[in-house]
Amino acid sequence: MRKKMHLAVAALLLLCLTGCAGYEPETTAAPPASIPTTQATTPKPVEVSPLAQEAFLDAESSSSVRECPVEIVMLHFTSAVMLDRDHPYDYDLVRGIFQENRLGIHYIIDRDGKIFCFVPESRAAWHAGRGSYQDEKYTNNMNQYSIGIELMAIGSEEDMSIYLTPEEYAAVAQEHKGFTAAQYDAVAALVADICSRREIPADRQHIIGHQSYNPAKNDPGELFDWGNFISILKEKQG
């Protein structure tokens, strides 16, 4: 999210078929005998996790059509600390950063563990930017292969050094720094759901931080406890 917040600073602070079917005689309603049984029984892919509340951003300014299979889950952190140090997790402020800077994310998790879906999984949200990771197909194209999750959080002083001076960071309430227990529980449940539905291995090779794709980034940062997250994730998987 380093790059996203940097864009937010630069821009603001120098920072969803309706069918109309009329009555037809019963004699014309019988379907052709050639229609395969699977056409009626194949379920529609889930675009939004049942754990999340829909809160879609404008599709054209936050994402593009997904053309590749989802293989990676990428974690980030975000906040509006540059706009309001006392209320860095104000939902409207955080949402506005995405809207005004043409950024996207599939899911965002607030401090209480509530999950919002900003971009449906069927679209490639603009969250990863440029970078590389293992297979060459991911190079500068991770948005197409990933689902992005933001956690509302403020990182360590080092993580936040591009946004805040040491004095400004010190002035941020301690309760605003790091991640909450509710967030760890929510992100583990969400990732478990995504990995189960999409048959993605729930391991550190397929669940990564932004920094694993672009070393210039640092989210979810050094305050994110990967060990705790993986432990809860395994519990969610049963």
Contact 70, 100 (CB under 8 A): no
Question: Does residue 31 lie within any of the structural domains?
Answer: no
How confident is residue 16, by pLDDT bands cut at 50, 70 and 90?
A: very low
For 59-75, the pLDDT digits (tens) are 999 999 999 999 999 99
pLDDT at 42 over 90: no
Give the pLDDT of residue 238: 86
Range of the domain at 153: 2-8+45-237
Question: Does residue 136 lie within any of the structural domains?
Answer: yes
Give the pLDDT of residue 45: 66
Dihedral (Cα; 211, 216, 221, 222), 10-degree rounding:
100
Give the pLDDT of residue 46: 76
How confident is residue 26, by pLDDT bands cut at 50, 70 and 90?
A: very low
Q: Which of 204, 65, 71, 205 is nearest to 137 (CA)?
A: 71
- The reply to whether the predicted model has a pTM over 0.75 is yes
pLDDT at 7 over 90: no
Q: Of the given ranges (8-17, 122-131, 148-157), which has the lowest mean pLDDT?
A: 8-17
Question: Does residue 33 lie within any of the structural domains?
Answer: no
Question: Does residue 88 lie within any of the structural domains?
Answer: yes
Higher pLDDT, 42 or 55: 55
Q: What is the CATH number of the domain that holds 171?
A: 3.40.80.10
Give the pLDDT of residue 19: 31
pLDDT at 33 over 80: no
Give the pLDDT of residue 44: 55
DSSP string, the chain: -HHHHHHHHHHH-------------GGG-PPPTTS-THHHHSPPPPSS-TTSEE-PPPGGGTEEE--S---EEEEEEE--TTT-TT-TT-HHHHHHHHHHTT---SEEE-TT--EEESS-TTEEES-S-S---SSGGGTTTHHHHEEEEEEE-B--TTTTTTT--HHHHHHS-GGGBB--HHHHHHHHHHHHHHHHHHT---STTTEEEHHHH-TT--TT-TTS-HHHHHHHHHHHH-
C-beta atoms surrounding 138 within 10 Å: 20
Q: What is the mean pLDDT of residues 203-216?
A: 97
pLDDT at 115 over 50: yes
Question: Does residue 95 lie within any of the structural domains?
Answer: yes
Question: Does residue 212 lie within any of the structural domains?
Answer: yes
Q: What is the mean pLDDT of residues 198-216?
A: 97
Q: Which of 88, 127, 152, 142 is nearest to 4 (CA)?
A: 127
Q: Of the given ranges (11-15, 185-189, 212-216), which has the lowest mean pLDDT?
A: 11-15
Q: How many domains does the chain have?
A: 1
Question: Does residue 21 lie within any of the structural domains?
Answer: no
Q: What is the mean pLDDT of residues 141-148?
A: 99
Higher pLDDT, 162 or 108: 108
Distances (CA, A) of 179 to 22, 151, 156: 54, 8, 11
Average pLDDT, the chain: 86
Question: Does residue 54 lie within any of the structural domains?
Answer: yes
pLDDT at 15 over 80: no
Whole-number Å distance between alpha carbons of 6 and 19: 44
Q: Which of 137, 146, 163, 132 is nearest to 104 (CA)?
A: 146
